[in-house]
Amino acid sequence: MKRILLSTLVLLGISLQTMAAELSPGNIVGHYKVSASVGFQKVYLKFHIIDSNDFEIQRVYPSGKEDEVCNGTYNLNTQLAWNMDTFANNTVFKGVFTCPSNRQKRIDFDIDFKNKTIEDLLKGTNVTVTSSLAPGYAIDAFVKKQ
């Protein structure tokens, strides 16, 4: 009897975790505001995921000035990870983009969403970004779906 009860509780716990919508190329489509601290500088970005493959990114300055809109492609990779409490999905957004002013310069970056869900993005959440622009650094960023 105890085994049946324990098994039921474990299955219920796993099913409750999967009720939150995991990140997928289909449900992350939309507009995002991103803010990140890089050294002593705060960087603001408009980030638009167009479809399950393409995105646009644009830097916005506190004064309201905006840089050109850059275009890129991405993959969303999900891996099952074990932490001390439970299994969790670790999702990484791998993107590469170029800008119209210099199509030869490719910038790649990874956004580690860890076990975040689409609900977390709607509320706003912290993520870790690594980029070819800042090799060797992990940048903390705040992402909020608009």
**52-78 confidence digits (pLDDT tens):** 999 999 999 999 999 999 999 999 988
* CA–CA gap between residue 87 and residue 48 (Å, rounded): 30
* 22: helix, strand or coil: strand
What is the value of pTM for the model shown?
0.79
Question: Tokens representing 138?
Answer: 């992990």
| Mean pLDDT to the nearest integer, 88-96 | 87
**Which range, of 43-52, 63-72, 131-140, averages the lowest pLDDT?**
131-140
Question: Tokens representing 100?
Answer: 């119209």
Sort 129 into a burial class: Cβ within 10 Å, 0-12 / 13-18 / 19+.
Answer: buried
Predicted local confidence at residue 81, as pLDDT: 61
* pLDDT classification of 11: cutoffs 50, 70, 90: very low
* CA–CA gap between residue 109 and residue 97 (Å, rounded): 9
Domain chopping of the chain, boundaries:
2-145
Q: Cα angle vertex 40, ends 57, 28, to 5°?
A: 30
Question: Tokens representing 25?
Answer: 């190329």
* pLDDT classification of 114: cutoffs 50, 70, 90: confident
Residue 108: how many other CB atoms lie within 10 Å: 13
Residue 2: how many other CB atoms lie within 10 Å: 6
Task: Dihedral sign for Cα 66, 68, 71, 75, please.
Answer: negative
| Mean pLDDT to the nearest integer, 112-118 | 91
Q: At 84, which amino acid appears? A: M
pLDDT(112) > 50: yes
